[in-house]
């Protein structure tokens, strides 16, 4: 029997992939949020220095907040959700496995 045929091996591989996806999504979320914050700071500096008009700057800031920070938050939240579901699946698998029992009591 190959590991691909073994149900436990398949579930273990899925859990490993879910944990990798969790880490990737959380890192991606933080990265997108960080880049958006840098963009917001740069735009505020551009407005303060007079390079950008306040009305145009407001549109850019709104786009950075709504597009960037919320996208990062969604990626972060998705990673957390994947992790929670992987944990749930791991517990369910552990619950369904038969527990090795010792010798009967009184023997």
Q: How many CA atoms lie within 13 A of 87 on its CB side?
A: 7
The pair of three-digit structure tokens given for residue 82, joined into one six-digit string: 């994947």
Give the sign of the dihedral formed by CA 63, CA 66, CA 72, CA 74: negative
Q: What is the DSSP letter of 1?
A: -
In residues, how long is the chain? 107
**pTM (global) more than 0.75:** no
Q: What is the pLDDT of residue 14?
A: 84
Give the Cα separation of 66 and 84 in Å (integer): 26
Give the Cα separation of 31 and 104 in Å (integer): 56
Mean predicted confidence (pLDDT) in 75-100:
84
pLDDT confidence bin for 11, thresholds 50/70/90: confident
Give the model confidence (pLDDT) of 25-52 as tens digits: 899 989 998 999 998 999 899 888 888 8
pLDDT over 70 (residue 99): no
Q: What is the pLDDT of residue 104?
A: 56
Q: What is the mean pLDDT of the chain?
A: 83
Those residues whose C-beta lies under 8 Å from the C-beta of residue 46, and which sit 6 or more positions away, are 52, 57
Q: Where along the chain do its domains lie?
A: 7-96
Give the Cα separation of 71 and 28 in Å (integer): 10
């Amino acid at each position: 029997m190959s590991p691909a045929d073994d149900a436990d091996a398949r579930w273990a591989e899925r859990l490993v992939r879910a944990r990798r996806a969790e880490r990737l999504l959380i890192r991606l979320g933080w990265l997108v949020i960080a880049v958006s914050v840098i963009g917001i700071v740069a735009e505020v500096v551009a407005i303060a220095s007079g390079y950008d008009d306040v009305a145009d700057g407001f549109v850019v800031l709104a786009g950075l907040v709504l597009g960037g920070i919320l996208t990062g938050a969604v990626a972060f939240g998705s990673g957390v959700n994947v992790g929670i579901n992987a944990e749930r699946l791991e517990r369910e698998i552990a619950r369904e496995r038969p527990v090795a029992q010792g010798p009967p009591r009184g023997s």
